[in-house]
Amino acid sequence: MNEKDFFIEELKKRTKKLAVDIIRFCNSLRKCEATSVITYQIIKSSSSTGANYRAACRARSKAEFYSKICIVVEEADETEYWLEIIHDAELSKEKEELKRLTKEANEITKIMSKAKNSTYGNKK
Query: For position 36, which CATH number holds?
Result: 1.20.1440.60
Does the predicted TM-score (pTM) go above 0.85?
yes
Q: What is the share, in percent, of the chain residues with pLDDT greater than 90? A: 92
Q: How many domains does the chain have?
A: 1
Q: Domain of residue 13: give its range.
A: 3-123
Say what the pLDDT of residue 122 is: 56
Average pLDDT in the 7-36 region? Answer: 96
State the DSSP H helix or E strand holding residue 91, giving kind and residue range, or none if neither: none
Say what the pLDDT of residue 124 is: 47
Interval 103-118: pLDDT, tens: 999 999 999 999 999 9
Selection from 59, 76, 97 nearest residue 15 by Cα: 76
Interval 47-87: pLDDT, tens: 999 999 999 999 999 999 999 999 999 999 999 999 999 99
Cβ burial 53-69 (10 Å sphere, 16+ → b, else e): bbbbeeeeeeeebbebb
